[in-house]
A and B are shown apart, each in its own frame.
Chain A
Amino acid sequence: MPADVQTDARSSGIAHDLNTRGRAWYIDRAVSVGVFVGGVSAIVFIVGIFVFVTREGLDFVIGPMDAKEFFTSINWRPTSERNPTYGILALMAGTASVTGLAMLVAVPFSLGAAIYIAEFASGKMRESLKVLVELLAAIPSVVWGFVGMTIMNPLIIEFFDVAVGLSVLNAGVILGLMAAPIMTTIAEDALKAVPDSYREAAEAMGATRWQVVFKVVLPAAKSGLMASVLLGVGRGFGETMAVLMASGHAINLPTSPFDSVRALTATIAAELGDTARGSDHYGVLFTLGIFLFVVTFIINLTADIVVKGVGRK
């Protein structure tokens, strides 16, 4: 303390006040610890998911699993008495074909809808469309699966004159309709994030609305739009009930949209109930879970990096 600053008796009361931590101080400290635990719980849970799924699947992975067969065989016969095989190639093909078709449906429509809502619609129209899109996103996947079975199925049989309507086409369209609202919302956010000054600058140069959209807004929102597509892919990849119910659930390397297929997720949902804990079948289903976890983790991470890339520029 410098010499010219003096402490006297008068200030000792103040010294006491400034150095006494009252109830409020301790409550604040306790709360900060409490909410910190809440925040960290998100990490605990994501790690916990990995740990517990791995824990149940580990015996299979280090035991009977043959990685080459697992990824390259189309034979999924986990219940065979004499010679069980665990090839997920057909399941991956099922997931990929359904997700691919879903994106074919969802990407153009959701981007189109996002562009309309963000750039063309105005006032009430815009608000109502957003509300509608939000409501669409809320429909549970089991209801979608039910729609695939009971409404889409006869329609496809009737319309295309095929024997079964539970197929890549059915599940893909259903999944597309499911993923589109979420993708629309994310894409619309990305478009809205483009500063108005960009639009005004282009309009000042005489560009029309659609020229502004195509030449200025879309390129500027590119990363956000890509992220929306990626998240849609992740969503399709991880969807369970709708695909289980609408895809026909038959092991197949599909050659046409009318083939029935079986998805990775649906396999777990359909078979887990009949397995005994500790059996190879139980283990392989958890191994599928590890695989799904890792792939979606990568998809989400990529989407996150793509979006963050925008911020850095």
Chain B
Amino acid sequence: MVEASPKLSVRDLTVRYGDKTALDAVSLDVLTNEILGIIGPANSGKTSFLRALNRMEEFDPNMTVQGDIFFEGQNITAIRNVYALRRKVGVVFPLPVGLPMSVYDNVAFAPRLAGIRKRAELDVIVERCLTRAALWDEVKDRLDALGSLLSGGQQQRLTIARALSQNPELLLLDEFSIAVDPVTTMRIEDVLKELKHEITIVLVTNLVQQARRLADRTAFFLQSELVEIAETEELFTGTVQDQRTRDYVEGRFG
């Protein structure tokens, strides 16, 4: 089911904000075409992990990253074109951001950056991505509405559609369902399960059950450290697990 070759190899990844360590020497692999779930209590460093994968330390002078990240064997700090990296990595963060342009332009933004100009081609991409993000039915009649004035949940799904429009090899989702109702969440989850045949997904979630439903393997972060990473079923039911993981998945803290 899961190919053995890693899409992404992370070695001794440490993330700091000023003096504060948000992630401490984490090493793990993300395998091609798997969904890797990451769970852990608040402030355990999950979001910081995702930010480092897209080299977002460049947006925040306060953030420093140490260690190595290999994307398909390429050390991402050594590559010559970080923009190409970010185009191959789609990200969705918990705060939804609809850009102040039409819904259509929001979704066509990345394809246009990639040089796609033909309206017909863009139309196809926009419809496909919005459909996958479970937003198409709601906005298909007002594609020229401002993306930044949609409701919070709609903007969240617009953000997902934008990430998909990049045609990414790696999709990083950070609590994507935080502002989305349960039924719509299920629809998106189904899409993710299909998508994983084409791409690799890292799913950070506060909902332990979501990780259990979707993830092939799951990693547990606690206080800036990776406690353990295992096949999801093992992590949730197996015997070979850390006491702290068991406490967390069984809801004893967090």
Residues of A within 8 A of B (CB): 1-2, 4-8, 10-11, 14-15, 17-22, 24-25
Residue in B closest to A17 when the chains form the complex, CB atoms:
B84
Q: A2-B9, A8-B5, A24-B113 are in contact. Are A15 and B74 (CB under 8 A)?
A: yes
Which one, B65-73, B102-110, B125-133, B194-202, is touching chain A? Answer: B65-73
- List the 10 shortest-distance A-B pairs measured between CB atoms, nearest first: A7-B73, A11-B72, A18-B79, A19-B80, A5-B9, A14-B72, A17-B84, A5-B70, A21-B81, A11-B73
Residue in B closest to A22 when the chains form the complex, CB atoms:
B81
Q: Please, which residues of chain A bring their CB within 8 A of the CB of B88?
A: 14, 17-18
Q: How far is the CA of A182 from the CA of B11 in the complex (A)?
A: 57
The total of Cβ contacts below 8 Å across the A-B interface reads 58
Q: How far is the CA of A173 from the CA of B32 in the complex (A)?
A: 78
9 other A-B residue contacts (CB within 8 Å) besides A1-B70, A18-B81: A1-B75, A4-B6, A7-B73, A14-B74, A15-B73, A17-B81, A17-B88, A19-B79, A24-B83
Residue pair A6, B5 in contact (C-beta under 8 Å): yes
Q: Please, which residues of chain A bring their CB within 8 A of the CB of B5?
A: 6, 8
Q: How far is the CA of A14 from the CA of B81 in the complex (A)?
A: 11
Q: Does B85 contact A (CB under 8 A)?
A: yes
A-B contacts, 15 of them at CB < 8 A, read A1-B70, A2-B9, A2-B68, A4-B6, A4-B9, A4-B29, A5-B6, A6-B5, A14-B71, A14-B72, A14-B169, A15-B72, A15-B74, A18-B74, A22-B84
Q: How far is the CA of A6 from the CA of B3 in the complex (A)?
A: 14
Q: How far is the CA of A4 from the CA of B4 in the complex (A)?
A: 11
Q: When the two chains form the complex, which single residue of A1, A4, A10, A19 contacts B81, counting CB atoms closer than 8 Å? A: A19
Residue pair B70, A18 in contact (C-beta under 8 Å): no
Residue in B closest to A24 when the chains form the complex, CB atoms:
B83
Q: How far is the CA of A18 from the CA of B169 in the complex (A)?
A: 13
Chain B interface: which size bin? 20 to 34
Q: How far is the CA of A7 from the CA of B72 in the complex (A)?
A: 7
Residue in B closest to A28 when the chains form the complex, CB atoms:
B83
Q: How far is the CA of A6 from the CA of B74 in the complex (A)?
A: 10
Q: How far is the CA of A255 from the CA of B11 in the complex (A)?
A: 80
Q: Please, which residues of chain A bring their CB within 8 A of the CB of B79?
A: 18-19
Smallest CB–CB gap between B7 and chain A, Å?
A: 10
Q: Please, which residues of chain B bring their CB within 8 A of the CB of A8?
A: 5, 73
Q: A2-B11, A11-B73 are in contact. Are A18 and B6 (CB under 8 A)?
A: no
Q: How far is the CA of A264 from the CA of B141 in the complex (A)?
A: 69
Residue pair B113, A18 in contact (C-beta under 8 Å): no
Residue pair B81, A20 in contact (C-beta under 8 Å): yes
Residue pair A18, B80 in contact (C-beta under 8 Å): yes
Q: Please, which residues of chain B bring their CB within 8 A of the CB of A18?
A: 71, 74, 76, 79-81, 84-85, 88
Q: How far is the CA of A11 from the CA of B9 in the complex (A)?
A: 14
Q: When the two chains form the complex, which single residue of B29, B76, B84 contacts A20, counting CB atoms closer than 8 Å? A: B84
Q: Please, which residues of chain A bring their CB within 8 A of the CB of B9?
A: 2, 4-5
Q: Please, which residues of chain B bring their CB within 8 A of the CB of A17?
A: 81, 84, 88
Residues B121-167 near A (CB distance < 8 A): none
Q: Please, which residues of chain B bring their CB within 8 A of the CB of A15?
A: 72-74
Q: Please, which residues of chain A bring their CB within 8 A of the CB of B70?
A: 1, 5
Residue pair A5, B83 in contact (C-beta under 8 Å): no
Residue pair A25, B83 in contact (C-beta under 8 Å): yes
Interface centre among A1, A11, A15, A18, by most B CB within 10 Å? A18
Residue in B closest to A10 when the chains form the complex, CB atoms:
B72
Q: Please, which residues of chain B bring their CB within 8 A of the CB of A19?
A: 74, 79-81
Smallest CB–CB gap between A8 and chain B, Å?
A: 7
Q: When the two chains form the complex, which single residue of B74, B80, B83 contacts A11, counting CB atoms closer than 8 Å? A: B74
Residue in B closest to A18 when the chains form the complex, CB atoms:
B79
Smallest CB–CB gap between B155 and chain A, Å?
A: 26
Smallest CB–CB gap between A83 and chain B, Å?
A: 63
